[in-house]
């Protein structure tokens, strides 16, 4: 059995990790770590776990890592670097669900995340955990940087088309919408129900921390530099990421071209669902590890891509377990989805 620890077990992503791992035939949750909830039992923090698991939440200490095979760190960016360094130096595999190891440039990290990187020596060992694209590197990784929820929803539909060089060298417009759980559990007046209900608002226009992540991996994985705008919005729903992308196609490409490219890259990827007819909806992906993708080509050769994911599952805990499965040579759907799709 794979012995698992979770740092940040009291958060939304921590809760989802626990539920997924409890369904995993090859894992045992051994340690749960927290801060403000230290001393509480996990079922008292997440009441939906009553009668299912009853572990005490402990304060993280290096001495408590003994016997663990892997640790998931589900903390806000800036809070995980010191902890991850201790886990890595103890020889234990680690998956960071935050943003501290997604970028390899500390200057850009400081610009967008607003604090210094305190473990720059580990950046060269971090592997970006976009499961469908980086599985070979993930297999041998000891430190995996789980992608952000927005970048997951952007990169999965875009990367095949960028790799095949069918998009014109014009601005790609990306508009994304997130449920409020993406902001975590920290109290903030602008996240109160009465502030977000019956409203939609853009935020961090031009400054969102996922902008350099999208830029880096379009270039690194897509093998091409691209000009894009990214505008995130907050939806008055709990969970989900909904992304709409507009781009111009190079001459000679059409709907069938897109279909053929997606089939080439994703026909064997069990968590990618392609839709030729139906526009994705959040209700179809919530509580799953799927990314649903659809596409349309307008008369002026404008390509419209739409993707939908659950920000807490495919955008966080589900993809993290998918990456763990890759690291340990297991089927990617183990613990996440009980059936094997016929592709």
Residues classed as catalytic: 149
In terms of Cα–Cα distance, which of 134, 208, 223 is closest to 174?
208
Q: Identify whether the C-beta of residue 81 lies closer than 8 Å to the C-beta of residue 117.
A: yes
Helices 318-327 and 131-139: angle between axes, nearest 10 degrees: 40
Rounded CA separation 123/177 (Å): 29
Sheet holding 126-128, edge to edge: 57-59, 27-34, 2-7, 70-73, 93-96, 143-145, 126-128
How many CB atoms within 10 Å of residue 79? 15
For every residue of 48-112, DSSP letters joined together read GGTTT---BEEE--GGGGTT-SEEEE---TTSSHHHHHHHHHTT-EEEE-SSTTS-S-HHHHHHH
Within 164-278, residue ranges assigned H as helices are 193-196, 211-220, 255-266
How many CB atoms within 10 Å of residue 304? 15
Render the burial of 148-177: b for 16+ CB within 10 Å, e for the rest: bbbbbbbbbbbbbbbbbebbeeeebebebb
The bridge status of strand 302-309 relative to strand 201-202 is unpaired
């Amino acid at each position: 059995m794979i012995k698992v620890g979770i740092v940040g077990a009291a958060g939304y992503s921590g809760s989802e990790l626990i539920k997924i791992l409890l369904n995993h035939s090859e894992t045992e949750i051994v340690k749960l770590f927290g801060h403000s909830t230290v001393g509480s039992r996990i079922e008292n923090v997440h009441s939906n776990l009553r009668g299912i698991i009853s572990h005490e939440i402990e304060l993280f200490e290096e001495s408590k890592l003994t016997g663990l095979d892997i640790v998931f760190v589900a903390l806000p960016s800036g809070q995980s670097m010191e902890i991850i360094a201790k886990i890595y130096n103890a020889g234990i595999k680690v998956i960071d669900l935050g943003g501290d190891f997604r970028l390899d440039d500390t200057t850009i990290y400081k610009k967008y995340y607003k604090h210094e990187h305190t473990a720059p020596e580990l950046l060269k060992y971090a592997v970006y955990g976009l499961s469908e694209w980086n599985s070979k590197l993930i297999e041998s990784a000891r430190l995996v940087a789980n992608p952000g929820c927005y970048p997951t929803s952007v990169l999965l539909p875009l990367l095949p088309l960028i790799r095949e060089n069918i998009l014109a060298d014009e601005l790609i417009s990306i508009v994304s919408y997130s449920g409020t759980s993406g902001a975590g559990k920290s109290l903030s007046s602008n996240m109160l129900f009465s502030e977000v209900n019956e409203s939609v608002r853009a935020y961090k226009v031009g400054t969102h921390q996922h902008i350099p992540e999208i830029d880096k991996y379009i270039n690194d994985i897509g093998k091409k530099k691209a000009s894009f705008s990214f505008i995130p919005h907050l939806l008055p729903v709990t969970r989900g990421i909904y992304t709409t992308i507009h781009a111009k196609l190079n001459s000679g490409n059409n709907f069938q071209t897109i279909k053929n490219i997606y089939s080439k890259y994703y026909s064997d990827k069990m968590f990618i669902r392609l839709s030729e007819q139906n526009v994705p909806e959040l209700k179809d992906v919530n509580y799953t590890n799927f990314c649903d993708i659809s596409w349309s080509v307008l008369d002026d050769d404008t390509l419209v891509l739409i993707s939908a994911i659950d920000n807490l599952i495919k955008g966080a805990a589900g993809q993290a377990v998918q990456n763990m499965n890759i690291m340990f040579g297991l089927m990617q759907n183990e613990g996440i989805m009980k059936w094997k799709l016929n592709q």
